[in-house]
Structure 1
């Protein structure tokens, strides 16, 4: 009985040792297989990441070489290996736009926008695409482009956010000008200029855009700012001279043209306008002029204007000129030095008659030449035509 018990114990012990050894062996094999699997998985993932980077590099090279079709293929391949890489998605969307696949690019950017609606860069791209879609008469809306531009301006940016927002505002202003909305463009430009750094190139840009937005006085302000820092800048000198000339400020225009001719003596147009500015200053009859000189100029210009009317009637008889003829006949007794000296109001009436004669004959007769052309410029500067006229 004791012998059987000992044998059973030995047998049981052997079985336990055998099972333990088997368990340990299986555990070791499992661990080894897990390690091999993990190693292979990491190797596979590393290889996928390497392939994604490699294809993305090819995409960037193609994009920079202006080969968007190849860039699209490369970035799509990169995304198959690394589907959550946002930078690849952004480059794919840009490549689609550059390839002219506007609708695909727009849709792709909208998808990116949905996850980050406050991203300044994405909103800027959507604004540009919306503008292109509109100009291409697809399904775009100009208001959508404006809304995206504004979202871009107030969105989040990486890097120099202030500079990027200013650039976006300038781009919006250009778009508004193209959409024939100069008032809105002017408002954006004034905001952009209000917190702008002291930069002459930026001043030039603001001046040009404000001029395009029908804001000549504000444009002139920025051209003058540019000239403070760069007194010999030909672009700013030319623009400032032309703006002051167009505004009828011939004294200031002459100073700008003198500087321009000094810096660019080969500029024939500037020399011509300088000469015209000098003549116009000599013909002008402002109230600030010495009384005797003002009377002298009025008396010298009256016969020129009257001859213009007479020649106009001879060449192009028109009943619309008869009221002007009547005014000349009625005013004839007061158009003399004695009347002008004794009653300054007659000077004003005479100047008005000269201006009206030049303006009216310009509408019904051949273009004036010589002094008549200069008197017409003076009349237009004294009676500017506005958008409400």
Structure 2
């Protein structure tokens, strides 16, 4: 009779990939890891919901704080580049100012003042086509913007477009400025007056002076100045009235 020997091999011990402990024979998962992993799931439903809400709220505040910090940093960068552009523009370096203002706009793309300064720098660099594009974009958003209308008026005047020059200047005269200033309004009318005189439009030029006189009824200096301009242009009767009006206001004890 033949006897077969039985091959008795010791089973290989398996270890948990997470904790490294041996896994008993007959089961597929580590009992320790399964117990710990399911402990959270054994908590009451109300506790689980509360924990999730707390995590979400904390995450919301953390994200909000990080976002505010990032925007504050962006604003600081924008202001820094804008200040650099202002200095470049004052130093007669328009190309450097253009780059600085463009960089500022990368961090604050909707800033109207930054766009206006960029347009002014482009004008200084004789890049009027680009400047007009920025100015018209600003004008469409803020048609009552005084500085924007003045820049458009200057461009139109340089191109010999009298109608547009007067239209934009009128908008600037009655437009919105950061600080209301009657002297500025008078200065704008004088710019229009000089432009019209240079173009030979004497009747329109005189009308601007008359409008300026009407807007400064109790300003002696303005009336004297208007009288001097009228005198230079040969309007002697109007000039005399202007000077007389200015003298009368100056001698009025109330003023």
TM-score, normalization: structure 2? 0.69
Instruction: State the partner residue of 1:59.
Output: 85
Residue aligned with 2:86, SS: helix
Q: Does residue 84 of the first structure (1) align with residue 110 of the second (2)?
A: yes
Q: Does residue 142 of the first structure (1) align with residue 162 of the second (2)?
A: yes
- CA deviation after TM superposition for structure 1 residue 172, in Å: 1.5
Written as runs of structure 1 = structure 2, the 5 A alignment for 1:4-153 is 17-19=39-41, 27=52, 35-134=61-160, 141-153=161-173
- CA deviation after TM superposition for structure 1 residue 92, in Å: 1.3
Q: Does residue 209 of the first structure (1) align with residue 229 of the second (2)?
A: yes
TM-score, normalization: structure 1? 0.47
After superposition, the Cα gap between the structure-2 partners of 1:228 and 1:107, relative to the gap in structure 1 and judged at 3 Å, is: same
Q: In 1, are the aligned partners of 2:218 and 2:249 still within 8 Å (CA)?
A: no
Instruction: State the partner residue of 2:193.
Output: 173
Q: Which digits, 9 at most, give the CA deviation of each residue in 1:93-145, with x for residues without a partner?
A: 122222322222222111110111122322122111111123xxxxxx22111
Written as runs of structure 1 = structure 2, the 5 A alignment for 1:280-359 is none
After superposition, the Cα gap between the structure-2 partners of 1:62 and 1:20, relative to the gap in structure 1 and judged at 3 Å, is: farther
**Rounded Cα–Cα distance in structure 2 between residues aligned with 1:230 and 1:36:** 66
What is the aligned residue count? 213
After superposition, the Cα gap between the structure-2 partners of 1:150 and 1:20, relative to the gap in structure 1 and judged at 3 Å, is: farther
Gaps of 5+ in 1: 1-12, 135-140, 232-389
**Rounded Cα–Cα distance in structure 1 between residues aligned with 2:155 and 2:89:** 18
More helix by percentage: 1
Gaps of 5+ in 2: 1-34
Q: Which digits, 9 at most, give the CA deviation of each residue in 1:25-68, with x for residues without a partner?
A: 98476666555544433332221111011111111222233332
